Amino acid sequence: MLGIILTGHGHFATGLQSSIELIAGKQENFIAINFEEGMSSEQLQDKLREAYKELDTETGVVIFSDLPGGTPFNQSVLLSNELHSVRVIAGINIPLLLEGLFTRDLDIDSFVEAVLNAGKKGMVTPEQKIKKSVIDIEDGI
């Protein structure tokens, strides 16, 4: 099973972890790391390394970050450049993360593709959601 590290600015990571656990229950091989005010990038890097060691599996570890180009993302990329069993995905949302939690048996590259697709599909307007519901009803079960 792939390990998952969730990181981001402020309490983004633990806040999202709380939401996920409310929806899907407590998750194995899942660690949230906040990048809080006053932390240095080196301190964050140390926490990411510790989490990797705790989660390190033969199948790999995926780090989900809040914002492309931010410190949590940059530090995650540095780690992934050093450790080839690590992938980084930025700009996450709950549909993307839920898809990831339920498809961790995929190989790491297929996993990344699946969660990116889920993240894109998870972003809709109310009009799009209503239209999809009507189509689903008309098509039957």
Q: Are 110 and 86 in contact (CB under 8 A)?
A: no
pLDDT of amino acid 31:
97
| DSSP letters for 64-105 | EESSTTSHHHHHHHHHHHH-TTEEEEES--HHHHHHHHH-TT
Per-residue pLDDT of the chain (141 residues; tens, 9 = 90+): 999 999 999 999 999 999 999 999 999 999 999 999 999 999 999 999 999 999 967 899 999 999 999 999 999 999 999 998 999 999 998 989 999 999 999 999 999 999 998 988 888 888 876 666 555 555 544
Order of all β-strands in the sheet with 61-65:
30-35, 3-9, 61-65, 86-90
Name the catalytic one among 9, 14, 39, 122: 9
> Residue 57: its pLDDT value, please?
77
- Is residue 9 annotated as part of the catalytic site, yes or no? yes
With CA atoms as reference, report the closest residue to 92 among 36, 37, 19, 22.
19
Model confidence, pTM = 0.86
CATH number of the CATH domain containing 88:
3.40.50.510
Domain residues for 37?
3-139
How many domains does the chain fold into? Answer: 1
Task: Return the pLDDT at 125.
Answer: 84
